[in-house]
Amino acid sequence: MSSKRKQGGSGAPASERAPRRRKSRRRTKAPLADPASDERGEDGTLGIGSRVIPPPEMHDEPPASETPVVERMLDPADVQEEIRALEARLDGMIRRASERASEPPPPASLRDQVGTAARDVADRLGLPGGGEAARELFSSDYFLRQWGRLSLRNRSEEVDDFGLDPTYEKRIEPILDFLYKHYFRVSTSGIENIPASGRCLVVANHSGTLPIDGVMLRSAVRIEHPSVRELRWLAEDFIFYLPFAGAFFNRIGAVRACQENAERLLKKGSLVAVFPEGIKGIKKLYKDRYNLQRFGRGGFIRLCLRTQTPLVPCAVIGAEETNPMLYRVEYLSKALGLPYVPVTPTFPLLGPLGIVPAPSKWIISFGEPIRFEGYGPEAADDHVLVGRLSERVRSAIQGMLDRGLKDRRSVWFG
């Protein structure tokens, strides 16, 4: 091959250009490797150095790509344009040249080498058409799918144990940031009560018909907390029955609420948010706003006692007004398989547009951590104690809510 290049007359520049040309092709076209252009590519690399290329045509190219290197470096787009134009010309030349070439050029390109290797393997194995298969491999639809338009551009290849997809979250982060900073204008206080590391359980009131308070809590910690902490919130079962909602919330950090999941998360030292009111919280009517419902059966307290986790009470004010539920259509909810069918000032009235939350001002405040170091893990089985502690947390959050509401002058401006 090298001898051929020398024979070609313009040996040095041609051999230098050859790899460059291939590189640019990779950059511009490789992802959509179409069989025809591949074919040309192979012949091309071979043809450049071979003597069939007319020297005069070769000579007017080097100046274009080589002399003004310094200036061109500054404008990559121009260089690309230039290279592409040159490529087109080269392709034309090569086509003509290869038509004239009497003997097939020897294999030289990487692609060809792979092809030959595969042929050899296939020959040894006694397979028919090994070489054809190798070529197919590089120009198949598989490659299209793998690197083309259907690839995993917006999705991670790996998710964490609970399905959080970092790439996907990064992609919708601007939307979450907009909601957090400009739409709900969340003001957060007491974020320093969340420890910088180690497990911690945030217990918050649940409200607002649509379960977006979990998303906002996660954003609050992501945006406001000094050390990089990631909050996972436990979402009600029903989200996972619904199409789209379950997959979506799961990808951005929701985890189905159950003891096993919470315990697993806490054991890994994560920051977990729970809404002990559960579904009763988000489906309460507007007239009951900011009145904490029963706190389940105190499962979150048992969790804290078992795993020795500090608990941070949290009050979310403003979420109740996003979609104020005036009425629940009970008989429809059974038929539709939904936990509740809300009637809000806008919902059935404006159709799907009615579920857009109102831009109320949100205030999220985190209270002093409550620690359970005084109790051993066996305290989790003491029902009376669990009930008492649960009630204590509930009244702490209720107190925070009441104080916050007293200080709030406007639903829209805080």
Partner 1 sequence: MAARRKGGKRRDGKPDLVESSIPPAAPLSRSSGAGVATSLPKSQVVAVTGAAGFLGLNLIGLLEEDDRVRRIVSLDLEPPRTAGQKTRVYEVDLTQPATEERVAEIFAAEGVDALVHLAFLASPSHSTAWAHELESVGTMHLLNACRRTQVRKLVMWSQTVLYGAHPTNPNFLSEKHSLRARRAEPFFADKIEAEADALRFGRPGKGRVVTILRTATLLGPTVRNYLTRYLSHRIVPTVLGFDPLWQFVHEADAVAAFKLAVDRDTPGIFNIVGEGVLPLSTVIRLAGRMGLPVPRPIMNTVTGALWLAQLSEAPPSFLDYLQYVCVADGDLAQRQMGFSPVYTTREALIEYASAQHLREVKLLSETPA
Residues at the interface with partner 1 (CB under 8 A): 118, 121-122, 125, 127, 129-130, 133-134, 136-137, 140, 142, 145-146, 150-152, 155-159, 161-163, 165, 237, 240-244, 246-247, 250-251, 255-256, 258-261, 264
| 32-36 own/partner pairs: CB under 8 Å, 24+ apart | 32/144, 32/148, 33/138, 33/139, 33/143, 33/144, 34/139, 35/135, 35/139
CA 359 – CA 346 distance, rounded (Å)? 13
Cβ proximity to partner 1: between 122 and 172 the closer is 122
- Taking the complex as a whole, the smallest distance from the CB of residue 297 to partner 1 amounts, in Å, to 16
- Taking the complex as a whole, the smallest distance from the CB of residue 253 to partner 1 amounts, in Å, to 13
- Taking the complex as a whole, the smallest distance from the CB of residue 162 to partner 1 amounts, in Å, to 5
Q: Which of 350, 378, 374, 345 is nearest to 360 (CA)?
A: 345
Cβ proximity to partner 1: between 62 and 131 the closer is 131
β-pair partners for 233: 254, 273
- Taking the complex as a whole, the smallest distance from the CB of residue 138 to partner 1 amounts, in Å, to 10
Cβ proximity to partner 1: between 6 and 145 the closer is 145
Could you tell me the strand order of the sheet in which 187-189 lies? Answer: 187-189, 363-366, 311-317, 200-204, 271-274, 231-235, 254-256
Cβ proximity to partner 1: between 258 and 350 the closer is 258
354 touches 347 (CB < 8 A): yes
In angstroms, the Cα distances linking 157 to 31, 151, 163, 381 are 18, 10, 11, 42
CA 249 – CA 170 distance, rounded (Å)? 14
CA 97 – CA 312 distance, rounded (Å)? 76
Cβ atoms within 10 A of the Cβ of 301, count? 29
- Taking the complex as a whole, the smallest distance from the CB of residue 257 to partner 1 amounts, in Å, to 10
- Taking the complex as a whole, the smallest distance from the CB of residue 39 to partner 1 amounts, in Å, to 18
Cβ proximity to partner 1: between 214 and 318 the closer is 214
Cβ proximity to partner 1: between 163 and 310 the closer is 163
171 touches 177 (CB < 8 A): no
284 touches 293 (CB < 8 A): yes
- Taking the complex as a whole, the smallest distance from the CB of residue 149 to partner 1 amounts, in Å, to 11
Cβ proximity to partner 1: between 265 and 389 the closer is 265
Q: Which of 286, 279, 187 is nearest to 234 (CA)?
A: 279
72-104 per-residue burial string, b: 16 or more CB within 10 A, e: under 16: beeeeeebeebbeebbeebbebbeebbeebeee
Cβ proximity to partner 1: between 240 and 286 the closer is 240
Cβ proximity to partner 1: between 32 and 349 the closer is 32
- Taking the complex as a whole, the smallest distance from the CB of residue 142 to partner 1 amounts, in Å, to 5
β-pair partners for 255: 234
CA 307 – CA 123 distance, rounded (Å)? 63
- Taking the complex as a whole, the smallest distance from the CB of residue 115 to partner 1 amounts, in Å, to 12
